[in-house]
Structure 1
Amino acid sequence: MSTEEFLMTDISDLMRRATDGLSPESPDLVQRGMAQGLRMRRRRTALVSAAAAGAVVLTAGFAVAVQSLGPADGQGVQVAVQTPTAKPTAPAPTKTTSATPKPPSRFALNTLRKLLPSGMKASDPNVWGEPGQFSGGSWTVDDGKGLAEVNAMVERHNVRKCSSEFPGACKRLADGTLVVSRPLELVYTDERNEGVLSNSVEVYRRDGVKVNMIAFNSEDEKGSPKTRAYPPFTVEQLTTMARNPAWKPAGRLFALPAKGSS
């Protein structure tokens, strides 16, 4: 006999004893009451079982969650791991351009050195100029007749014809080049006149480049007494040197832009 059948028999016997001599309105009242009680007991049992199962599931889920947090620290306490908040990315540093000016081009200095006679000594180089605009250079030369300064400079120009504005002899060559020459000019025309002379030429090329060459009969253009009777080069020699193909690269470095170009 099952527990439920035992309970129903026991309860039926007790109710029969308690109601002896009574005539119930319905003969099956006792049976229906017992059946109702049994259904309620089964329902409570089912609810208790469901609650217990839910508690087991929750407990298992909590255990898994704790394990996923990682191993315990040195004290045996589980340490919760927080997801780090992304830090804002710092802006990339702005590149700064150097304020250091570019050194002057050595183009004129180096070209002049190539054009000096092979037996002539050269020392004390000096440079000046502005990148892309003009380049100048000078040497102190020695041909055995006394020290002298020779300098050269290349720059941009827009001269197209001879003019009375040129204080010297100007002539146009067959290729359109203009040459202005100034032989044996006094560097000083006042009380500082110490007999320092210069020979100079200016060559205005059609590509917008001017080549200027000067030779002195002293070690320095100014502040130095004459060291020889005349400069080491004549205007004819300087003209030949100024028109030498060695100056051709100046067209890429210092020439004015062609008309109509940007």
Structure 2
Amino acid sequence: METDDRLPELMRRATETLEPRYPDLVERGIRRGVVRRRRRRVLSVVASAAAVALTVGGVAVVQAQIGPRASLPPIAGPSTPAAKTSPTKPVPLPPASPAQTLRTLKKLLPGLQTSGAKTWGDDFIAAGLFIDDGHGKAWLEMGIQTVKYDPNCTDQPPSQNCKVRPDGTFLRSYRGAEGRLVYNAVVLEYPDRRAINLTSTSGTGTKGSPSRPEPPLSIDQLVELADNQGWSFPAANYGKNLNR
């Protein structure tokens, strides 16, 4: 028999043993001289009935909250495997070219006025332009290629501060001067021989008189430019070495 069906019977049995109202019990107990025994019996029976009533009340409350019969979620059938989604393929970079290199360079210089852009190179791609941050126009140039040697720091002079970074790249950074003109420069080389260099000067060229006290771009800013993943590198057999 289900618990819900037995509750009325349990209630009936419990209430059958209940004695009359409390004043009547006291009166009868005095007459018989068993007041204490009768009180203990009544309290015990009342407690039992209260426990049953509490149980019934609890069931009623639960049923009121979840309804006569809580509807269970349907049993899941054999799980259907989720459709596999292909990983997003990275968008390939456009082929390396002087025009593409110059576009990338300009794109990475927001907030700076640019002018006088040009490109050159033989087995490498180079680009340069004037940049102005409001404190004087100055020259910025860069070169990009796939070199024919294995990059390392062993062959570099201490002045170039060469170091191997955790990702395996070789970074050289240095500050130099040509007369009164000063410049900041970085060279970043990858283990697969890709290489990029950038130079920011304090004048309108790599030589001559300065147009401002300091280069517009610091070494840290040049490193950030070199690290950008938007550069397209030419193949190792790109162009022709003209020994320039």
Aligned to 2:202: 217
TM-score normalised to structure 2 length: 0.54
- Which runs of structure 1 show a deviation greater than 4 angstroms over 4 or more consecutive aligned residues? none
The C-alpha deviation readout for 1:16-35, integer Å capped at 9, x for no partner, is: xxxxxxxxxxxxxxxxxxxx
For 1:163 and 1:228, locate their aligned partners in 2 and report how far apart those are by CA, in whole Å.
35
For 1:159 and 1:228, locate their aligned partners in 2 and report how far apart those are by CA, in whole Å.
37
- Choose the corresponding residue for 2:154, options 142, 163, 167: 163
For 1:254 and 1:202, locate their aligned partners in 2 and report how far apart those are by CA, in whole Å.
18
Q: Give the drift of 1:256.
A: 6.9
Q: Tell me the SS of whatever aligns to 1:165.
A: coil
Aligned to 2:139: 149
Aligned to 2:229: 245
The count of corresponding residues between Structure 1 and Structure 2 is 140
Aligned to 2:214: 230
Structure of higher RCO (CA pairs closer than 8 Å, 6+ residues apart)? 2
Pick the structure with greater CA Rg: 1
Q: Tell me the SS of whatever aligns to 2:230.
A: helix
Alignment of 1:111 onto 2:101: no
Q: Give the drift of 1:175.
A: 1.2
Give the letter for the 1:200 counterpart: A
Give the letter for the 1:161 counterpart: N
Q: Tell me the SS of whatever aligns to 1:200.
A: strand
Gap regions ≥5 residues in structure 1: 1-103, 188-192, 258-262
RMSD (Å) for aligned C-alpha atoms: 1.9
Q: Give the drift of 1:150.
A: 0.5
TM-score normalised to structure 1 length: 0.50
Q: Give the drift of 1:107.
A: 3.3
Alignment of 1:172 onto 2:157: no
Q: Is the 8 A contact 1:107 1:135 kept in 2?
A: no
Gap regions ≥5 residues in structure 2: 1-96, 239-244
Give the letter for the 2:125 counterpart: S
The C-alpha deviation readout for 1:202-233, integer Å capped at 9, x for no partner, is: 000122111000000001112x3101111011
Overall identity of the aligned pairs, in %: 26
